[in-house]
Amino acid sequence: MSTELNPFDIAQRQLDEAAELLGLDEATHQLLRWPRRELRVIIPVRMDDGTVQVFHGYRVQYNDARGATKGGLRWHPDETIDTVRALAAWMAWKTAVVDIPLGGGKGGVTCSPKEMSQGEQERLARGYIRAIHRIIDDKTDVPAPDVYTNPQIMAWMMDEFSIIKGYNVPGMITGKPLPLGGSEGRGDATARGGVYTVREASKALDIDLRGATAAIQGYGNAGQFVHKLGEEILSLKVVAVSDSRGGVYREEGISFEEGVAWKNKNGTVVDMANTKNVTNEELLELDVAVLFPSALENVITGANARNIKAKISAELANGPTTPEADDILHERGVYVIPDFLCNAGGVTVSYFEQVQNAYDFYWPVELVHERLDAKMTAAFHAVHKMAQEKSVHNRLAAYLVAVQRVAEACKLRGWV
C-alpha cells in the first residue's frame, strides 16, 4: 500500500495539520497520533467442507479519554491493521465532534464474507469474540456493525460474550436486532444523520434541494437508505447509483423502489432497465447538486478532484477523500461534509442503544429521530462555524472541534 493512500498515514497527516493550528504541545500531539492499545488475533474456523481456515482479526482502542471506546467491526478481504487504526482514529474524532461521551475504537477480520455460508459466518463471529473478549465489555469497548457485518452477526457475538460471562450482557455490542436490545432507528441512522447534515448545508449555502440531482457511489446499507431518505426528507432526484461492479445513470431519475428491487433481484445495479451504465469513476464526476461517496476509502484523490462537479460532497463512507483532494475541492468551492461528521449518525444512535441497554428502557423511533437530529444539527453548526472563523476547509474544521475536545479530556485526566 502506498504511503499516499495508506489510510492511517492519511489520518495522522490530518491530525498533524489540526495539531499545528491548535498549537498542541508535542506530548499531547504524539499521544493523539497513535492508538492507546491494539490487539491482533488469529481465529481458526472449521469450514463446511471440514477443513480449518485461519483468519486474522484486529481490535484497536484508539483513545478513551472521553469514555469507553466505540467502533464497528469490518469483515473485508482487504482489511489490514492500518485500515483498522485509521478507522479507530476517525471514530475518536467522530464521537467527539458529535459530543457524545465515548472514545474511538475499531475492529476487523480479513475474510471474504460473500464466499462464506451462514454457518461459517456464525463460527467466525463467535471465534472472534472468544479471541478478543478480555478487552471488550459494555463499559470499556463496545463494537458495532460495519462493512459486511450486520445485526445477526452482532446477535451471535453478544450471545457468545454472554456465554463466556455466564449472564446476559446486551450492552457489550450495538446494532443488535430489536428483540435482543437493539434500538429503534439504528438501521438507517448513518444515512439519516448524513441527510440531516446535507439539509443544514443547503441552508448555509442557500441551495434549494427540492428536485435537485444526486449521485450515490456505493449501494449498500448506507447508500440505499440515503436514496430513500434523500427522496423523503430532501426531495432529491437521484440520477445515478453504483456498487462494486459498476453504476447506472438516468437523467430523469432512479426511484428508491426501482433501485433496490433491481439490486435485490440481480445482485448489482448494473444493466438496470432504461439506464446507461457508468463506471464508479464516472459517477463521481457527474454534474449533480449532491454527491454521496458511500463506499470505501480513497476514491476522491488528487488525480480526480478537479473533475468533481457536485456542489456538496456528503461523505457517508469513511476516508473517501485524500488530503490532496481536500485542498483542491476547497479551492474549487465544493462543500465537503467530512466523513466523521456526515456519517456520525450511526455511532450516535449506537450510543442511544447503549443508554437504553444500561437502564433497560427503550425509546420510540420518533424520539430517536428527534435526538439524532438535535445532535447532528449541533455538530454541523459547530464545524461550519469553525470553518468560517479559521478560513479552513470543513474536514480541518471538524478536526479542530474534535481534537480540541479530546485533548482537553486528556489534559484534565493528567495524561499529559
Same domain, 49 and 157: yes
For position 194, which CATH number holds?
3.40.50.720
Same domain, 159 and 200: no
Same domain, 328 and 200: yes
Kindly report, residue by residue over 63-106, the tens digit of the pLDDT: 999 999 999 999 999 999 999 999 999 999 999 999 999 999 99
Contact of 299 with 317, CB cutoff 8 Å: yes
Q: Are strands 290-293 and 141-145 parallel, antiparallel or unpaired?
A: unpaired
Smallest CA-to-CA distance from 108 within 144, 64, 68 is with 144
Contact of 339 with 318, CB cutoff 8 Å: yes
Smallest CA-to-CA distance from 70 within 347, 404, 352, 318 is with 347
Contact of 155 with 177, CB cutoff 8 Å: yes
Same domain, 153 and 289: no
Kindly report, residue by residue over 217-258, the tens digit of the pLDDT: 999 889 999 999 999 999 999 999 999 999 999 999 999 999
Kindly state whether residue 269 falls inside one of the protein's structural domains: yes
Contact of 230 with 193, CB cutoff 8 Å: no
Kindly state whether residue 324 falls inside one of the protein's structural domains: yes
Kindly state whether residue 150 falls inside one of the protein's structural domains: yes
Kindly report, residue by residue over 34-62, the tens digit of the pLDDT: 999 999 999 999 999 999 999 999 999 99
Beta carbons within 10 angstroms of residue 109's beta carbon:
26
Kindly state whether residue 2 falls inside one of the protein's structural domains: no
Determine the length of the chain: 416
- Residue 45, C-alpha cell as written in the block: 474456523
What gap in Å lies between CA 315 and CA 317, rounded to an integer? Answer: 5
Kindly state whether residue 234 falls inside one of the protein's structural domains: yes
Same domain, 236 and 171: no
Q: Which H helix or E strand runs over 41?
A: strand 37-46
What gap in Å lies between CA 198 and CA 394, rounded to an integer? Answer: 13
Same domain, 111 and 194: no
The domain boundary, picked from 178, 209, 232, lies at 178
The domain boundary, picked from 342, 365, 380, lies at 342
Same domain, 204 and 334: yes
Which residue segment(s) compose the domain that 147 sits in?
37-178
pTM: 0.92
106 noted as active-site residue: yes
Same domain, 145 and 213: no
Q: How many domains does the chain have?
A: 2
Residue appearing with cell numbers 479507530: 88
For position 102, which CATH number holds?
3.40.50.10860
Beta carbons within 10 angstroms of residue 410's beta carbon:
18
The domain boundary, picked from 322, 342, 362, lies at 342
pLDDT at 6: 87
Smallest CA-to-CA distance from 393 within 317, 296, 313, 273 is with 313
Kindly state whether residue 128 falls inside one of the protein's structural domains: yes
Kindly state whether residue 388 falls inside one of the protein's structural domains: no
Residues β-bridged to residue 103: 69
List 70, 106, 228, 375, catalytic entry: 106
Kindly state whether residue 8 falls inside one of the protein's structural domains: no
Same domain, 216 and 330: yes
Q: How far apart are the first and last CA of the chain?
A: 33
Q: Show the 3-state SS of 223-266.
A: HHHHHHHHHHHHCCEEEEEEECCEEEECCCCCCHHHHHHHHHHH
Specify the 3-state DSSP secondary structure of 54: strand
Kindly report, residue by residue over 283-341, the tens digit of the pLDDT: 999 999 999 999 878 899 999 999 999 999 999 998 899 989 999 999 999 999 999 99
Same domain, 130 and 194: no
Same domain, 60 and 164: yes
Same domain, 201 and 337: yes
What gap in Å lies between CA 157 and CA 167, rounded to an integer? Answer: 14
